[in-house]
Amino acid sequence: MEITWYGHSCFRITERNLASVVTDPYDHRAVGHEALKLKADIVTISHAAPGHNYLSGVKGEPFVISGPGEFEIGGVFITGVQTNGHTKKTQDEPRNTLYLIDYNGINVLHLGAINRVPTQTEVEALGPVHIVLVPVGGGSGLNAAKAAEIISLLEPNLVIPMHYATPQSTIKLEPLSKFLKEMGLTAVSTQPSLKVTSANALPEETQVIVLDPVGN
């Protein structure tokens, strides 16, 4: 399985003989990153915003998932869980859906624009999470401290930060360095993509992987 980051909250996840997934495709005019030129079998949308639901950036006729539910497409199992916008105290809170994407037993969790730390019960309901794609730069999503708190609850093998300030980004977000500090790291070397052969190949201790955005 290979995970590639295109900037903001947009990733492409591929595996031979299985459906490809693009998460949260953005309108480059809204976020500042390079215009998307992607193809996918499945597109997941965490919430309704130009930085997260720009379907015109994805070619083909992908199956679009934009809310809670359980789906199986092309050998990939996806579970959508609503996280924001369902409390009476904050009726105006924007809705967000996180997606647990199961590729041959490797579980990838895309948190979308989650803005609160889930309960222990909510975390346990997800089951094992091997790789988490987590917003760390504030704005509509988690800030660095809350991101670190969620990671300690999920106990994933790998963490890939997203939704933070980059040289290309035009949205006001916090830098990656804040999150790295929360995780007790000073610097992490970046890589173009993450390739995982099996769940058994993942590290036992949680590791942070920083990806370079494609085309930026």
DSSP letters spanning the chain: -EEEEEETTEEEEE-TTS--EEES---HHHH-SPPP-EE-SEEE--SSSTTT--GGGEES-PEEE-SSEEEEETTEEEEEEEEES--GGGTTSPPEEEEEEEETTEEEEE-TT--SPPPHHHHHHH---SEEEEE-S-TTS--HHHHHHHHHHH--SEEEEES-B-SS--S---BHHHHHHHTT-S---EES-EE-S-GGGS-SS-EE-EEPPTT-
Q: Is the pLDDT of residue 87 over 80?
A: no
Mean pLDDT in the chain? Answer: 91
Identify the architecture of domain 2-211 in CATH.
Answer: 4-Layer Sandwich (3.60)
Q: pTM of whole model > 0.95?
A: no
For 19-46, what is each residue's pLDDT tens digit? Answer: 999 999 999 988 888 889 999 999 999 9
Q: Is the pLDDT of residue 115 over 90?
A: no
For 184-209, what is each residue's pLDDT tens digit? Answer: 998 788 999 999 999 899 999 999 99
Domain ranges of the chain: 2-211
